[in-house]
């Protein structure tokens, strides 16, 4: 408790010194004793306040909380004078916390359109002057309202190129997010050079609406003479499609699979159907098949297979060959037929196989089932078969 007493003594001394320096001489000689006491009290109070403000804050703080004794208390009587109150420093202001502002989603308008592509006459296309042409845009309905026959395509600005100023958008309906091809018949201006016409859509209420960037347009170049475009010459290509033996073989009517495509019956009168897959991975996507020849000359026979009828080839899509691929119904849709060994030895075009190969373009394999259609077995207890080797193939001609 000594530290507060020392501080208070210092305060009183400083206040007294300040009083001695600040009391005017006129007060000592002219004022009454009561007035002088009041003036002195006020001056001491002011000096104490000034002195307390000048003392560092650490001098006024003490960790002890005991009640001070009477010896450390100074009582100052003041008449009708308000003692100035120390003012606390500025109150700290807590900065507001940043808050993410959620922007409400933009409402989708009833009528809105977006551009998909130029179907005909892209920007800068050359058109012979004075000639008619049909410009087609592909547009998408990106609004919330369905377009119908009350909607129109309207000319906005630029070169109209002899086109209609207004014509119906559609004779049906275009639901939101659906696309439509919009066409207009135009005429290339006689003036050589670049020309542009701008177009938009109009709702049944007469409101014109455009792309988000403005109107959609036609941009062409009128020329004196339009040189014909000479299509590239496509030469036919011929490949050999070998047998894929990994997914080829035979299935017995008794539910047994074997690894070679044997067709006919055996000595127990069990019927055999052959399954063959050919590798067509060398044919590019988009190719057009023009000719197919079947080379089945790698074979031998057992017994008299032709007593079972004609050997026929049928398209059949199957995965990994298994006993479930055996066909027990009435076969139809054959794409090739061989009724004797002489026909089997001839490598001839098979016109009906073109469609089957064309349908498989873009895949790696084309698959077929081979069987005697007239008789699955002749029931004579003698094996009658055509047994194919691994060197059978298709010879396919196509244009890219």
Q: Is residue 95 part of a domain?
A: no
| Cα–Cα distance list, 29 to 35, 136, 400 (Å) | 12, 114, 129
Please give the tally of structural domains in the chain. Answer: 3
Contact 395, 293 (CB under 8 A): yes
- Judgement on whether residues 143 and 21 belong to the same structural domain of the protein: no
| Cα–Cα distance list, 119 to 47, 184, 359 (Å) | 96, 12, 28
- Judgement on whether residues 388 and 286 belong to the same structural domain of the protein: yes
Per-residue pLDDT tens over the stretch 222-269:
998 766 777 778 889 999 999 999 999 999 999 999 999 999 999 999
Q: Is residue 355 part of a domain?
A: yes
Query: Domain range for residue 37?
Result: 2-60
Per-residue pLDDT tens over the stretch 257-311:
999 999 999 999 999 999 999 999 999 998 999 999 999 999 999 999 999 999 9
Q: Is residue 393 part of a domain?
A: yes
How buried is residue 273: exposed, middle or buried, by Cβ count under 10 Å (0-12/13-18/19+)? buried
- Judgement on whether residues 252 and 148 belong to the same structural domain of the protein: no
- Judgement on whether residues 242 and 179 belong to the same structural domain of the protein: no
Predicted TM-score (pTM) of the model is 0.46
What is residue 91's predicted lDDT score, i.e. its pLDDT?
Answer: 46
- Judgement on whether residues 49 and 152 belong to the same structural domain of the protein: no
């Amino acid at each position: 408790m000594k530290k507060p007493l020392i501080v208070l003594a210092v305060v009183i001394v400083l206040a007294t010194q300040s009083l001695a320096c600040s009391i005017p001489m006129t007060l000592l000689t002219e004022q009454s004793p009561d007035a002088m006491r009041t003036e002195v009290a006020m001056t001491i109070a002011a000096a104490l306040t000034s002195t307390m403000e000048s003392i560092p804050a650490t001098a006024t703080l003490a960790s002890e909380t005991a009640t001070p004794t009477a010896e450390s208390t100074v009582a100052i009587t003041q008449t009708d004078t308000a003692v100035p109150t120390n003012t606390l420093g500025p109150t700290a202001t807590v900065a507001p916390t940043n808050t993410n502002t959620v922007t409400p989603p933009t409402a989708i308008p009833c009528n809105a359109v977006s551009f998909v592509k130029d179907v005909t006459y892209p920007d800068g296309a050359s058109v012979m002057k004075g000639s008619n042409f049909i410009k087609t845009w592909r547009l998408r309905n990106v609004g919330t309202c369905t377009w119908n026959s009350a909607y129109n395509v309207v000319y906005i600005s630029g070169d109209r190129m002899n086109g209609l100023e207004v014509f119906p958008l559609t004779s049906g309906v275009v639901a939101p997010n659906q696309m439509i091809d919009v066409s207009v018949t135009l005429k290339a201006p006689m003036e050589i050079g670049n020309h542009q016409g701008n177009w938009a859509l109009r709702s049944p209420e007469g409101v014109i609406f455009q792309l988000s960037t403005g109107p959609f347009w036609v941009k062409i170049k009128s020329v004196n003479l339009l040189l014909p475009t000479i299509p590239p010459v496509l030469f036919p290509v011929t490949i050999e499609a070998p047998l894929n033996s990994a997914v080829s073989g035979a299935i017995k009517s008794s539910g047994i699979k074997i690894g070679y495509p044997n067709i006919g019956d055996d000595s127990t009168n069990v019927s055999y159907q052959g399954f063959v897959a050919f590798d067509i991975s060398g044919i590019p996507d988009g190719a057009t098949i023009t000719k197919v020849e079947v080379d089945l000359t790698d074979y031998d026979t057992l017994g008299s297979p032709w007593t079972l009828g004609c050997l026929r080839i049928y398209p059949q899509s199957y995965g990994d060959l298994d006993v479930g691929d055996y066909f027990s119904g009435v076969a139809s849709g054959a794409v090739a037929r061989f009724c004797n060994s002489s026909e089997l030895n001839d490598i001839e075009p098979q016109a009906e196989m073109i469609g089957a190969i064309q349908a498989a373009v873009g895949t790696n394999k084309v698959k077929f089932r081979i069987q005697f259609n007239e008789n699955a077995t002749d029931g004579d207890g003698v094996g009658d078969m055509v047994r194919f080797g691994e060197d059978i193939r298709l010879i396919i001609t196509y244009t890219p």
